[in-house]
Every structure is written in structure tokens, then in C-alpha cells.
Amino acid sequence: DPLTGLPNRILLQDRLLQVIRAGRREAASFALMILDIDGFKDVNDSLGHQAGDHLLQEVATRLVSRLRQSDTAVRLGGDEFAILLPGVAHGAGAEKVARKLLRTLEEPVVLGDRRVSVTASCGVALFPAHGDEVGVLLRHADRAMYEAKRGRRGFLVFTPAMDEEGDNRLRLQVDLEQAIGHGDLVLHYQPTIDLVTGKISGAEALVRWQHPVLGMLPPAQFVPLAERTHLMGPLTFYVLRLAATQARAWAEQARPLPIAVNVSAVNLDDNEFVESVGRILQDAGVASELIELEVTETALMRDPERAQAAIQALSELGVRVAIDDFGTGYSSMTYLRKLAVAKIKIDKSFVMDMGVSRNDSVIVRSIVDLGHSLGLKVVGEGVETAEAMAVLASLGCDYAQGFHLARPMDAPAFDRWRQEHA
């Protein structure tokens, strides 16, 4: 590898073949470790490529200085290294080496006028316990590294359960990508009602996945997956197209109803998000007042300034934004005042526990008052009983949504419900 002077991936494969052959002959064992620097992209992005290169060279030097003559360290590419440890037969032995390496990396590195401390994640596969082929060992060490990184564990030894989980996740990801293309995602609609007039005031679109093998999957089983991969944009835009088409159909049948669509925090990171929303509404031929977007309070607080700008741009498009799951994040009054939102939705946990916990009714009352003092409409979600609805009404809450009124329904069922409750 020209940058670090370490051997590269090709040499590693060669060495692995050798030790595997020798291992089979002499019943010897070894450990294969994959080490990946945490947050390397941030260093590159904020300090520049030169600093990034320097960091990789420093990491390489430190790794080599801590290894034995018989060990081999290679750079696999990017910020990923592999280390071959002959004679290491158990997880405990590998862990000792890994901890030692992680500790040397943590000593500050000077990059220009900065001192940065590096952390990394290590995964280990053992020969022959976790595989006796080059490809299998590399894959298993990589799986372990991935799990170590995901769980912020620093170091993990491969277990067969990791493999299965990885396979499942990958399969589900491929399936989801196809589902978005093939129309296997469907929307259910749940009404909200106006607590003063008792009339329907809108619908929230809630996505479901009609999976060919696993059946109807709730969003909790695939939205997080979409958020971790590149699929959150396509999913949100797909849902938005379906909702816009439905909103237009209702408008053409002379019974217009605003539809709320959920937006993930990840969507707000997309610089072209607002533009895409505008284009989708235009293509669907639907008035922007008929689509609302819901963003959770937590998502807003992840990058408050960016969120504020996005919401401002959306409201200029005529698209109203509601803060979802309000009460679970930590937004301040000052921040809320700056946001061009139209509504807040009280998190259902508070509404559902109003009857049980006095604290929760105090919270609900405060949120209603806070919302009104900022000139916002307030929705109570998770209304499961007539009592909860009555309490919300008495607190001056504007809208209600929940199983007591209706569960989310597919479009035909929703139409029937609406007719019965007109």
C-alpha cells in the first residue's frame, strides 16, 4: 500500500492461504482481526485529505510498533486494516492484543495545529473455529467489526448469531428496495378529528409493507432499516407520492382532506429535500395545503438550524409542518418560537397515561398551553378512551387522534368510516 507502506489486501489473501494450509497440516490456529477507525470521514471532511492521509500513516506506524515480528498488519483500503495473529487460538488472546492496539491509537495524533485522539473498532474471527477459508474468515471478522462499531464496543469476537443477523438484514434491505419499486408498500390512513366540532379534520398516512413472505410489516420493522441505508429518501418520496395521489382523488370527489406524511430526520439532511417535495406535489397536481409533513421533535433537535431552514422553506411552499411526538425531545421555548411550524402533536405516551398518572395530565395541560401561546394548533395522539378525549377537550386541545376514534385503515375502509361519521 503506497500510502502507509503496509502490505495490501492481495498480500493478505496470500498470507491467509499459507497459514490456512499450514494450520490444517499442523493443527495450528490463528486469529484474523479487522480494525476500522471510527469517524475517519469526519477527520477527512473537517481537516482535509492531507490530514486524513497523515492519520492513516500514523495509525499504520503505531499498529506495527505494537505487533510481533510474526504478526502481519495490512491496509485493506480506506480506513480499514487487517491483522493476522498466528498462534492466537482464543478470543481472550485476541482481545488482549486488540485492547493494546486500541490504547496506542488513543494517544493523541498531531494533525496540523490540532491534536486528535483516535478510536477504532475491532472484530476477530478465529481459525479454524469460525471458518477455514479466506473469504469466510474475512467476512466473519468484518461482521464482528461491524457489530463492535454498531454497539460501540471497541472489540468483539465473531459469533454465528452475527452472521445470521447480517444475512437477514441484507436480505430485508434488498427486499425493501424492490418493494419501493414494485408498489408493495401501502398506506393506511388514520383520521384526526376537531375536538370543538367533532368533525374529521385530516388523516395521517402510515406506511405498511405487504411483504411476500413475512406478511404485513409495521413501519417499526423497516423504517429504521431504511434510515440506516440509502433507502430513506426513496421511501419518503414514494409515500409522499401515494399520499398526494390520494389527496388529489379526495379533492376531485369534492371531499378534500389534508393528509399528513411522516418525515425522517435523515430526510432533512438531504439538501434537495424541499425541492423534491415541491416537485412531487406539482406532479401529482395537488394543492400544497392538502399535504402536511410531520417531523419528530427528536429529529428537529438533531440539527436545529438545518431543520429550521427546511421548515421555513416548506412553509413558503405552502406545506404545513407539525412537530411529532412532542414532549420526548428537549426543544426549548426560544427554539420553538423560531420554527415556522403549524402544529404540535403531543406524544401518545402522555395521552395514554393521563388517566393513570397525574404527572402526565400536567404535562399534557402544559403542552396545550405552550402550543397555544405560540399560536400553534395542538393534537392529542393515542386517544384510546372516551375519557381521554373528554379530558383533552376540556384542556382546550384542538384535535384528537387514536384508536378510540379509529385505527389506521386502508383507503376503502377509511372512505367507509368517513361516510358513517360524516
Contacts with Ca ion, residue ranges (CB under 5 A): 262, 294, 324-325, 381
Terminal-to-terminal C-alpha distance of the chain: 72
Residues 6+ apart with CB under 8 A from 255: 418
CB of 347 to Ca ion, least distance (A): 6
Task: Judge contact between 176 and 165, C-beta under 8 A.
Answer: no
Strand ranges inside 270-385, DSSP E: 291-296, 320-326, 343-346, 377-380
Closest C-alpha to 97, from 128, 137, 124, 117: 124
Per the listing, cell 468483539 goes with 156
DSSP state string for 231-298: THHHHHHHHHHHHHHHHHHHHHTT----EEEEE-HHHHT-TTHHHHHHHHHHHHT--GGGEEEEEEHH
Count CA atoms closer than 13 A to 374's CA, side-chain side: 21
SS3 304: helix
CB of 200 to ligand C2E, least distance (A): 15
- Which residue, 126 or 239, has its beta carbon nearer to ligand C2E? 239
**CB of 418: closest distance to ligand C2E in angstroms?**
17
Task: Identify which of residues 329 and 396 has a Cβ nearer to Ca ion in the complex.
Answer: 329
Per partner kind, with CB cut-offs from 5 to 8 A, the member of Ca ion, ligand C2E, none near residue 142 is none
Block residue for cell numbers 454497539: 151
Q: Which three cell numbers stand for residue 37?
A: 477507525
Please, what is the minimum distance in Å from the beta carbon of residue 204 to Ca ion?
6
Q: From the list ligand C2E, Ca ion, none, pick the one residue 382 interacts with, judged by a Cβ distance below 5 to 8 Å according to partner type.
A: ligand C2E
Tell me whether residue 124 or residue 231 sits nearer to ligand C2E (CB atom). Answer: 231
**Residue 93 touches which of Ca ion, ligand C2E, none (Cβ within 5-8 Å per kind):** none
Q: What is the DSSP letter of 162?
A: H
Residue numbers at the binding site for ligand C2E (CB under 6 A)? 190, 206-207, 218-220, 223, 236, 239, 262, 264, 294, 324-325, 348, 382-384, 401-403, 408
In whole angstroms, the minimum distance from the beta carbon of 82 to ligand C2E comes to 37
**Binding partner at 403 among ligand C2E, Ca ion, none, C-beta below 5 to 8 Å by kind:** ligand C2E
Name the binder of 239 from Ca ion, ligand C2E, none, CB < 5-8 A by kind: ligand C2E
User: Least separation, in Å, of the C-beta of 131 and ligand C2E?
Assistant: 38
Cβ-based nearer residue to Ca ion, 82 or 351: 351
**Which C-beta is closer to Ca ion: that of 91 or that of 408?**
408
